[in-house]
Structure 1
Amino acid sequence: MKAPAFAIGAAEQFIESNHQRHQDYFHCNYLYDATRMKPLLKKILAPRRIEYLEVSEKFIIQDTSDGVQRFADAGQKVRHGKDVRASFPELVGVEDILLEVLQGDQPAFELKGIARYSDHNSPLYFDLYAIDDEDEDTGKKKLMIFFEDVTERMVLEQTLVQRSNEASLLYNALAATKDYINKIITSMADALIVTTVDGQIKTINKATEDLFGYERTELIDEHISKIINDNRLWYNPNQRFAMPGKLFKDIEVVCRSKEGSEIVVSFSGAAINTELNLSQELVYVGRDVTARKEAENVLEFARREAELASQAKSTFLANMSHEIRTPMHALLGMTGLLLETDLNDEQRDFVETIRISGDALLSLINEILDLSKLEAGQMELESNDFDLIACVEEVVEMLAPTAHAKGLEISSLLPPHLPRLLRGDKMRLRQIITNLVGNGIKFTDAGEVTVEVTLVEQSATTAGICLAVTDTGIGMSPEDQQKLFQAFSQADASTTRKYGGTGLGLAICKQLVSLMGGEIGVESEVERGSRFWVKIPFALSVTSEQSQTIPRDLAGKRLLVVDDNATARRVVRELASSWGMVVAEAANPDAAVEVLSAPGERGRRWDVLLVDGDLGLMDGIVWGGKLLAGMAREAAPGGTISVLKTNRLEDVKRAIESGFTTYLVKPLKQSKLLEAICAVIHPPEIPTNQTTPDVTPPPPTASELPANPDPLLPKLRILLADDNMVNQKVALKQLERLGYQADVVANGAEVLQRLDKVAYDIILMDCQMPIIDGYEATREIRRRYQPSRGDSGGQPPVSAPTRPVVIAMTASAMKEDEQKCFAAGMDDYLSKPVRKEQLQAILTFWGNRLVEG
C-alpha cells in the first residue's frame, strides 16, 4: 500500500530516531508489506491525531484505525463490511472522483474543514485525504482514506477571520465617525479652535475662517493670541479649566479680525487629554455676539432712559402734587370754615358745590399719583390688623348720602360667620371698595347697590375673601367689558357720554388687587346691571378675635321687618336669625297688616317692629304712626324702630312723635342694629316726671362751638411753620375753631430762633420752606434736645428739656415723602389739604400724650 506524503514523513522521522539501523530496509519495502506496515502506521499517525480507513472499490470498509470513529457522522458506527458513505456522508456524490483515484487516474482527493457538531460548544474539524493502494497478495486496488484533526487550526483561523472582520468593522466605524465629526465641525455655525496647552493652533473649522477672515493655512501652527488676545483663554496653571473635564463658559472677549475690525465673541471651552493622556489640548468654541451686545447696549441705554423718564415723571408728579395741594389746602380749608358760618340756602349751596368739586379734584390727584406709583413699581402695601366688617361698613356708610341723594338703596351683606380680624392693607382695601361702590352708584339711576362679602376658603392662618358689588345700573356689553381695568379707558369714551370720569379707578383697583395676590372680574348685561367681584387672600390676625356679645334672651324673640327693598330685609333677616330671633318679613304695609293679624297671632305680640321710613309710595313713618295708634296696647309690638335714610333732626322728631321707640339710619350696621333691638326689648327706666321721650339733637356745628369747646382740652403751645400766607391763614382759623392759638413763622431758621425763646409743645412743620427747610430744622431740633453726656469728671448726664412734638403738615403726599419725614425725626404726618377733623384728632392724641408724659 502507498502512504500519503505526511504519513511517509512521519514514519521516516520515527524510524530515524528509533530504528536507524533499519532505515534503508523500511524505506524501501514498507509500502509493499501491508501486514508489517499497519501496526507501525497506527503508531506513527496516532500522536498527530490522524486516523485512516481501508475501503474497497465498492466503498466497503475493510480496515480502520482505532480512533476513526470520532470522525464519523453522529450516530453512525464505523465497522468492517459497512459502506463508508453511511458513516461519512461527505463522500456521497464524489464517488466518480474516488474511483479515478482508485484507478490511478488522479493522484489524490481531499476535503478540508469538515465539521462535526455533536458538541455545539466544542465542534470538531478535520481534513479528509484519499489515495489509492494495492493489496500485494491479491493485487486488488483499494482506497486509503486519512482523517486529520484540524480543530485547533480551524478555531485559530476562524478567530483570526473574526478579529479581522471586527477590525475591519471598527475601522469603518471609526472612519464613518471621523467623517461624521468632520461634517459636524465643518457645518458648525460657531467657531471651533483646538490648540496645544501652549496656545499653538492645531485645528480650526470653516466658521473660524469666516469669523476672523483668515485662511486655514494662515492660522494653523500660529499662536492663538493672533486672534484672541486675552490671557483668560489659554493655558494658565492657576486656571481650573486647564484640568481635564473642567469647563469655562461664556467668557466674552473683544477680538480683532484680519481686517482690523472689533468682534465680540463669547467663548466656552475645556482641556482634553489626547494620545492616551500623553498630551493635552485646549478646545475653544466661540460665538459672535457682536449684534447681541449692540442690542444689549441699546436696551441698557433704553432702560436707563426709561428709568430717568420714570424718575422724572415721578418727580414731576410729586412736584405737581405739591403745587396743586398747596392751593387745594387753602380752597378746601376755607370752604370748610365758610360752611361753618351763617349762610343762606343759596350761599350754602354754592359753597357745597365748591367743596364737592374740590374733593373730586383731590380724588383725581390721588388717583393719578397712585397709578404712577403702581406703574413704576413703587407701591408698597402695609400689613396691619383691621376689622373687615367695620372696614366695609365704614365705606358704605360714607357713600350712603350720595346713593340716597339719587334715590338708591345701598346695603352691605356681611354674614355673621365672617372672620373679622384680618391682617393686610386696610387703606388700600377701602380704596378698592370705595371705587367699586362709587362706580355702582354713578352708573345706577334707579334701584340699589349692594356690597356682599363671602368667605371663599379658610385655613388656620389665612382666609380667602370674596367681595362683590352689585348694582341695577346701565350694565355693559361684552365689548365694553374688554375695555375695563385699563388706564384712561371707559366703556363710553365719547365726548357726549353721560357719565364722566378719568377711567383710572378700575385700573388702579386691578393693580392693587394683583399686588395683594388676588383677582378681579366683572359680570354684566346691558340694562341689567353689573357685578364687580374681588377675591383677595388675607392672613388672619394673631390677635384673638373678640366675638360680639349677643344677649341670650334674644333667642326666640319675634321680629317683623317692613321694607319694600328685598336686600334690606335680607340684611335684617340674616343678622337677627343668627342671634336666634324669629324673623318675619313684609314688603309693604298691607303685607305687614296681614302678618300682624294672621290667624294664630291673637294674644301674641311681636317683640320688635322694624319699619322703613320710605315705603315706596307711602311714608313709612306716617303709616307706622297710624298703625301703632290704632292697635290695642296689649297687641302693639313691644318695641318699634324706624329706619331712616338720614339723621336730620326733623325726620328723627317725626319718627319719635309718631310713636316709634327709636330710630336707625341706613345703611344698617351690625352693631347699631343689635344695640337698637336690645334697647327696645329692654328699655331703660324713664323718670316719672318725664312724659315724652327726649330726642337727642345732632351735634352743633363748629360755628356754634365756644372758643374752647372742651374744658378738658389740654392747653398747648403751638408753633406753625409755613411759608405760604394763605396756608397760614387756613391753619390758624382751623386751630382757632378747635380752641387753640398758635404762633407763626415762615421758615426753619425762624423755628430755631423761636425755640430759643419759647418752649413749644407742638410744631406744625411744613417741609418745603426757604433758608432752612422742615427736614433740616427737625434734625437740628433733635440734635438740640439730646441729653448732655456730662463732663469728664464722671458727672451724670444732664437731662435735656422736653422736646417739642414735630408734626409734618405738608403738601408732599407721596409715600416716600411720609417716610422722609419720619426719617428726619418728625413724630407724625399730615398731608395737605388738611381737614379740621384730622387736625383735631392728631392734636388731641399728642396733647394727651404730653399730659400723660
Structure 2
Amino acid sequence: MSARFSLTGISDIALGKDLRDDTEIEHSRKGMSVLNSVSFFLAGVSVLFLIAFQINESVSLTWFFLSIALAFLLIPILARQGFEKTSKMMLIAYIDIGILVLSAVFGDEALIQAFFIPAMGLSILLFDNNHVYLRNIGISLSVISFVILDYIIFERVAIDATGYSWIRWSVLTCSFVTTWIIFNTFSEYREDAEYQTLELLEKEQELNRELSYNQQKMEEYIAQLEVTSEELEKSTKAKSEFLATMSHEIRTPMNAILGMTHLLKQDDPRPDQLEPINILDFSGKTLLSLIDDVLDFSKIEAGKIEFESIEFELDKLIDVIAESFSTTAENKGIELKVVIGDEIPNNLIGDPARLTQILNNLISNALKFTEEGEVLLAVKSIDNMEDRIELLFEVTDTGIGIEEHRIESIFESFTQASQDTKRLFGGTGLGLTISKQLVELQGGSLNVESSKGEGSSFFVELVFGKGIGKEKAKVDSNKIDTAEALKGFRILLAEDNLVNQKVMQRFLQRWEVVLTIVEDGEKAVEEMKRNNHDLILMDLQMPNMDGFDATAHIRKLDDPYKRNVPIIALTAAALKEVREKVYATGMNDYVTKPFNPAEMEQKLVNIAAMRP
C-alpha cells in the first residue's frame, strides 16, 4: 500500500488526483464515484447537524457529529490508498449508525428509520457482482440495524396488534423488495455495458496484435528482399508489377478500415467508445505509414523512384504538416514551432509530396523521442539566385539525443540509435533511410547534429525553382454546403470489392447523392449506355473489364454528354506510372485508396459546382 497517507490528500481528491502508485490502481473503479459523492455529501450534512445541536444544548451530540463528519471526509482518502472495500463497508456502517442515533433522538414518529432502504440500495451500487458477499453483508447491516432500532430501542411493537403489524411489515417488505429490484436492475444494466466495453477493447487489442504480427511478417519479407538484391536488375519488371499488386491488395482493405473508422468517429460515439475508435484509427494509420515506407524503400532499391517538378505554395505545405502533428504535440505537452524566413519566396517549383514526406519523417521522429520541451521547424535561405533558391530545413528537438558513435548508423536501413530505443519507441528504422535517399536523389543533403540527452538537429538542404505565383481558379469547398452542392448528383460507382462498395455508399449517402453501383467495367459501360450520370467513380482493377478499358469504351460513346462525363479513378496502386496511365486513358482525376474523405469531398464538390 502507499506510504503517502495524509490529510493533505483531501486537496488531491478535489483535484481529481490518485494517491496510489500506478501498480496499485485497479482497472475497475466501480462504486468509487458513488463513494466520493455520498461521503462528501454526508460530511456536509453532519456539519449541519453539528451546528444545530451546538445551538440547541438540550441534547449533547456535537461530539458524535464532529467525529462522524471527519470519518466521512477520511473515507475517500482511505479508498484512494487502496483500501476500497474497507472504505465502502465503513461508509455503510457509519450511515447505519447515524440513522440509529438520529432515530433514537427523534423517536420513531419522525420515520428516520426509512433511510435504511436507500442504505440497502447504496450497498448494491458500491459493490458489483464480483463482490456479492460484501453487498449482502452491507444489506444485512442495514436490516440488522433496523431490527435493533425497532425491537430494542423503540420497544413499541405491540404483539397483539396483529393487523397493524401485518400492514406495517407488508409496506416495509414491498419497499425493501422494490428498492432491491430497482437497484439490482440498474446494477445489471451498468455491468452489462461495462462488459460490452471490455469486449470492444479486447477486440481492439486483438487487432493490434494482428497488426504487430503483420508488421513482423513485413520486416521478414524485406530482409528476404535484401538477400536477393544481386538479382534486382534482372527482375526489375517483375518487381514493379509486384509493387503495384502489393499496393493494391494492402491498400484496398486499409481503405475499408480507415473509411469505416472515420464514419464511426462522425456518428457521435459514446465517450467509452471514442477511445477504442481513436486507437483503431491511430493503428490503421500507423500500419498505412509502415506500408508506404516499405513500398518507397523497395522502389528506391529498384531504381523506380521518380520526382515531380510542379509549382506549390510553401506556406500552405508547412501549415498542413504542422496541423497534422499538432494533436500529437499537444497530447505530449510539447510546443511545436514553425519559423519561415521572410526572404523566402512562397511559390516554389519542385516535388511537394516528397518534401512533405521528408519533413513528416523528421518531425515525427522529433516528437517521438521528445518528452518535454519543444520541436522547431525552421526554413532558411542558403543561396538566393535569379531563378532558383537553395533552402535549409532545420528540425530541432529537445529530446533524448543520439550518442556520437551512433550518429552515422541511424541512416542505415532497419537501424535505430540503440536496442533500448527500438524497444521503447518501436518502428522499423526505415524513415531516416528513406528521407536521406530522397534528399540525395534530388541533389541535396541530410545531416544531423546531436548529443546524448541534449536533443538533436536535422538539416535538409534542397534546391527549388522559383514559381510565378499564378492565381488558380478553383472552387473553395469550405464556402459551399456539401449536402446542398451534391444533393441529387448522379454518381455511378464501378467497384468489385463489396466492402469498399459499402464504405463508399456510407460516405455518399451522407451527401444525398443518387448512387448506382456496378461490379465491373463491362457493367459500367452498359449502365452509361442506358442512363445518364453526372460522374463516374471508376476502380481500376476489376474482373471482366478493368477501369482503363471501361473508360476507353465510354469515351467512344455517341452521346456527347455521356462521352464527356467526368471520371475519377479509384486506385490503390500509389505508383507514378499508374497515375500517368489514368490521365492518358482519358480520366479526369484520381483518388488514392485509402482515400482522404476531405479530398474526395472537395473533388466531388468542384465537379458538381461546374455542372450546368
Q: TM-score, normalised to structure 1's length?
A: 0.43
The question of 1:525 aligning with 2:451 is answered yes
Deviations along 1:83-124, one digit per CA (max 9) or x if unpaired, are xxxxxxxxxxxxxxxxxxxxxxxxxxxxxxxxxxxxxxxxxx
CA distance in 2, matches of 1:503, 1:425: 24
Residue 750 of structure 1 is matched in structure 2 by 523
The question of 1:440 aligning with 2:366 is answered yes
CA distance in 1, matches of 2:421, 2:433: 21
Secondary structure (helix, strand or coil) at the match of 1:749 reads helix
Q: What is the aligned counterpart of 2:584 among 817, 823, 826?
A: 823
Residue 574 of structure 2 is matched in structure 1 by 813
CA gap of 1:387–1:311, structure 2 versus 1, over 3 A, is same
Does the CA contact (< 8 Å) of 2:411 and 2:433 recur in 1?
yes
Deviation of the 1:802 alpha carbon: 5.2
Residue 730 of structure 1 is matched in structure 2 by 503
Residue 390 of structure 1 is matched in structure 2 by 316
Q: State the one-letter code of the partner of 1:741.
A: V
Q: State the one-letter code of the partner of 1:766.
A: D
Q: What is the aligned counterpart of 2:549 among 776, 792, 795?
A: 776
Residue 412 of structure 2 is matched in structure 1 by 486
Deviation of the 1:389 alpha carbon: 2.7
Q: State the one-letter code of the partner of 2:406.
A: D
Does the CA contact (< 8 Å) of 2:482 and 2:601 recur in 1?
no
Q: State the one-letter code of the partner of 1:774.
A: G
Deviation of the 1:531 alpha carbon: 0.2
Secondary structure (helix, strand or coil) at the match of 1:752 reads helix
Q: Which has the higher contact order (CA 8 A, sep 6+)?
A: 2
CA distance in 2, matches of 1:335, 1:718: 23
Deviation of the 1:316 alpha carbon: 2.3
CA distance in 2, matches of 1:453, 1:320: 36
Deviations along 1:383-439, one digit per CA (max 9) or x if unpaired, are 111222332232112211101100101101112222222111111111111111111
CA gap of 1:710–1:744, structure 2 versus 1, over 3 A, is closer
The question of 1:760 aligning with 2:533 is answered yes
Does the CA contact (< 8 Å) of 1:421 and 1:545 recur in 2?
no
CA gap of 1:354–1:410, structure 2 versus 1, over 3 A, is same
The question of 1:804 aligning with 2:577 is answered no
Residue 304 of structure 2 is matched in structure 1 by 378
CA distance in 2, matches of 1:323, 1:735: 23
Does the CA contact (< 8 Å) of 1:314 and 1:372 recur in 2?
no
Secondary structure (helix, strand or coil) at the match of 2:389 reads strand
CA gap of 1:756–1:496, structure 2 versus 1, over 3 A, is closer
CA distance in 1, matches of 2:528, 2:322: 46
CA distance in 1, matches of 2:380, 2:574: 34
CA gap of 1:712–1:825, structure 2 versus 1, over 3 A, is closer
Residue 605 of structure 2 is matched in structure 1 by 844
Does the CA contact (< 8 Å) of 1:513 and 1:534 recur in 2?
yes
Secondary structure (helix, strand or coil) at the match of 2:386 reads coil
Deviation of the 1:806 alpha carbon: 1.2
CA gap of 1:801–1:436, structure 2 versus 1, over 3 A, is closer
Q: State the one-letter code of the partner of 1:757.
A: R
Task: Output aligned runs, 1:8-23, within 5 Å.
Answer: none
Does the CA contact (< 8 Å) of 2:483 and 2:510 recur in 1?
no
Deviation of the 1:821 alpha carbon: 1.7
Q: What is the aligned counterpart of 2:250 among 318, 324, 345?
A: 324
Deviation of the 1:768 alpha carbon: 0.9
Does the CA contact (< 8 Å) of 2:350 and 2:464 recur in 1?
yes
Deviation of the 1:545 alpha carbon: 10
Deviation of the 1:812 alpha carbon: 1.9
Quote the sequence identity (%): 40
The aligned length equals 379
Deviation of the 1:528 alpha carbon: 0.3
Q: State the one-letter code of the partner of 2:521.
A: G
CA distance in 1, matches of 2:594, 2:562: 33
CA gap of 1:531–1:496, structure 2 versus 1, over 3 A, is closer
Q: What is the aligned counterpart of 1:477 among 393, 403, 406?
A: 403
Secondary structure (helix, strand or coil) at the match of 2:234 reads helix
Deviation of the 1:325 alpha carbon: 1.0
Does the CA contact (< 8 Å) of 1:441 and 1:449 recur in 2?
yes
Does the CA contact (< 8 Å) of 1:420 and 1:545 recur in 2?
no
CA distance in 2, matches of 1:531, 1:341: 42
CA distance in 1, matches of 2:239, 2:420: 28
CA distance in 2, matches of 1:746, 1:710: 26
Deviations along 1:34-84, one digit per CA (max 9) or x if unpaired, are xxxxxxxxxxxxxxxxxxxxxxxxxxxxxxxxxxxxxxxxxxxxxxxxxxx
Deviation of the 1:305 alpha carbon: 4.5
Which structure shows the bigger proportion of residues in helix conformation? 2
Residue 378 of structure 2 is matched in structure 1 by 452
Residue 432 of structure 2 is matched in structure 1 by 506
CA distance in 2, matches of 1:758, 1:722: 18
Does the CA contact (< 8 Å) of 1:745 and 1:751 recur in 2?
yes
Q: What is the aligned counterpart of 1:741 among 486, 500, 514?
A: 514
Residue 284 of structure 2 is matched in structure 1 by 358
Deviation of the 1:712 alpha carbon: 4.2
* Structure 1: stretches of 5+ with no match in the other structure: 1-301, 547-698, 700-704, 788-798
CA distance in 2, matches of 1:318, 1:407: 40
Task: Output aligned runs, 1:30-429, within 5 Å.
Answer: 305-429=231-355
Residue 462 of structure 2 is matched in structure 1 by 536
* Structure 2: stretches of 5+ with no match in the other structure: 1-227, 473-477
Deviations along 1:147-202, one digit per CA (max 9) or x if unpaired, are xxxxxxxxxxxxxxxxxxxxxxxxxxxxxxxxxxxxxxxxxxxxxxxxxxxxxxxx
Does the CA contact (< 8 Å) of 2:487 and 2:511 recur in 1?
no
CA distance in 2, matches of 1:315, 1:833: 20
Secondary structure (helix, strand or coil) at the match of 1:536 reads strand
Deviation of the 1:803 alpha carbon: 2.2
CA distance in 2, matches of 1:805, 1:391: 28
Does the CA contact (< 8 Å) of 2:486 and 2:513 recur in 1?
no
Q: State the one-letter code of the partner of 2:493.
A: L
CA distance in 2, matches of 1:303, 1:727: 36
CA distance in 1, matches of 2:290, 2:382: 33
Does the CA contact (< 8 Å) of 2:567 and 2:587 recur in 1?
yes
CA distance in 2, matches of 1:407, 1:374: 36
Does the CA contact (< 8 Å) of 2:387 and 2:466 recur in 1?
yes
CA gap of 1:334–1:544, structure 2 versus 1, over 3 A, is closer
Deviations along 1:119-139, one digit per CA (max 9) or x if unpaired, are xxxxxxxxxxxxxxxxxxxxx
Deviations along 1:545-574, one digit per CA (max 9) or x if unpaired, are 99xxxxxxxxxxxxxxxxxxxxxxxxxxxx
Does the CA contact (< 8 Å) of 1:387 and 1:420 recur in 2?
yes
CA distance in 1, matches of 2:295, 2:601: 26
CA distance in 1, matches of 2:422, 2:395: 27
Does the CA contact (< 8 Å) of 1:422 and 1:538 recur in 2?
yes
Does the CA contact (< 8 Å) of 1:807 and 1:830 recur in 2?
yes
CA distance in 2, matches of 1:849, 1:388: 28
CA distance in 2, matches of 1:544, 1:770: 43
Secondary structure (helix, strand or coil) at the match of 1:784 reads coil
Deviations along 1:223-257, one digit per CA (max 9) or x if unpaired, are xxxxxxxxxxxxxxxxxxxxxxxxxxxxxxxxxxx
Secondary structure (helix, strand or coil) at the match of 2:235 reads helix
Does the CA contact (< 8 Å) of 1:714 and 1:848 recur in 2?
no
Residue 252 of structure 1 is matched in structure 2 by none
CA gap of 1:824–1:801, structure 2 versus 1, over 3 A, is closer
Q: Which has the larger radius of gyration?
A: 1
Secondary structure (helix, strand or coil) at the match of 1:483 reads helix
Secondary structure (helix, strand or coil) at the match of 1:783 reads coil
CA distance in 1, matches of 2:469, 2:482: 37
Does the CA contact (< 8 Å) of 1:709 and 1:739 recur in 2?
no
